Structure 1
Amino acid sequence: MKEKIKKYLKELITFFIFLTILANIISFYKSSDLNKDPLQNINITLLNSQEYKYPDEKPILIHFWATWCPTCKLEASNIQSISEKFEVLTIAVNSGTNSDLQKYMDEHKLNYKVYNDTNGFFAKEFKIAAYPTTFIYDKNKNLVFSEVGFTSTWGLWLRMWWAGL
């Protein structure tokens, strides 16, 4: 019995390692076409009606997501955690009206900064092909990381820490 458990545990660990490697390869492939230009200053109005401008001399995480995206729902708590410690701007793409989006945020107890990209303008500018997609820029607004798909809180935290060095 003990040997069977060891065997299954070894197979399970091998499977998760393989799955992690495959997910990273897919993410790398999907992120190859993303806009890698330095971040340009923009002024936008957030969902909460506040004006937003990228902060100076501070790294920033920009996260593209949608209310209809199942992976985005799984990752939302990770983005929420990171937004409590770092500068985060999220862009909800084709996710309905401002009231629809606010209802979604309230239902999921999320309070990070959200811009409602109703017509997909920013998604086109950043060349987003899949959701979620995350960009991390350093304090000089140069892209240091991009990720397509799910990312853990630790993964995001480490990347933001690195971008802030």
Structure 2
Amino acid sequence: MANKEMKKGKPKTKIARWMKEILTFTLIITVFSIAIDLWRSRDMPSTNMPSLSMSTLEGDWVDIKKMSHDKPVLLYFWATWCPVCNFVSPSINWLSTSHQVISVALSSGNDKRLGQFMAYKEYNFPVINDTTGNLGQAWNVTATPSIVIVKNGEISSITTGFTTPMGMWLRLYFS
């Protein structure tokens, strides 16, 4: 009888131990991710945001500062040649159906090539083609993808590299 009670108690101990390990691992990954974001985005503007008022590939005029006074804008710096962007862009496309999203394609070819890429991938988010890399330089973008949340004309959040849809949504929600 005592043997049966011990066996019943063991699974609870194993589950508790696994939960503790998962929680510890999640905490370490979160801290590591935040540290990398801070390091990669250290040169990006934090207060004096460069102007971004221009025409998208579709011909629509956008002004990030003005747009951000209505609701937050997710500004997405990416490239067609960026492997990580292949994982993040579908989430950006999904978010663009319910949130203000403006993307900047960095050194991704001419307008025709970029338009073909967008059509092939079935991306519908607005894109500004930065063929010369001048916008990326003005914003000090050193990693693709880089995601900047702009609220009331100011930057409220910056993240770089792989970001989950939930992470992007939370940044928009809490900005």
What TM-score range do you get, normalising by the shorter chain? 0.7 to 0.9
Q: Helix, strand or coil for the counterpart of 1:34?
A: coil
Residue-by-residue CA offset, 1:58-88 (whole Å, 9 max, x unaligned): 2211110000001111000111121111111
Aligned-residue offset at 1:20: 4.0
| Structure 1 residue runs of 4 or more that deviate by more than 6 Å after TM superposition | 5-13
What does residue 59 of structure 2 align with?
Answer: 49
- 2:45 aligns to what? 35
2:140 to 127, 131, 148: 127
Instruction: For residues 77-106 of structure 1, give each alpha carbon's deviation from its aligned partner in whole angstroms, at most 9, with x where no partner exists.
Output: 111121111111100000001111111111
> Tell me, which stretches of 5 or more residues in structure 2 are unaligned?
1-10
Larger mean Cα displacement after TM superposition, 27-36 or 117-126: 27-36
**3-state SS in 2 of match to 1:70:** coil
Counterpart in the other structure of 1:115: 128
Equivalent position amino acid for 1:44 in 2: M
Structure 2 partner of 1:95: 108
Q: Distance in 2 between matches of 1:47 and 1:102?
A: 7
Instruction: Give me the identity figure in percent.
Output: 27
Partner of 2:155: 143
Structure 2 CA distance, aligned partners of 1:144 and 1:117? 23
Of structures 1 and 2, the larger Rg is shown by: 2
Q: What's the TM-score, normalizing by structure 1?
A: 0.84
- Whether the 8 Å CA contact 1:92–1:116 is kept in 2: the answer is yes
Number of aligned residue pairs:
160
Structure 2 CA distance for aligned equivalents of residues 14 and 104 of structure 1: 41
| Residue of structure 2 equivalent to 1:161 | 173
TM-score normalised over the length of structure 2: 0.79
Unpaired stretches in structure 1, ≥5 consecutive residues: none
Give the SS at the match of 1:84.
coil
How far apart in 1 are the matches of 2:53 and 2:139? 16
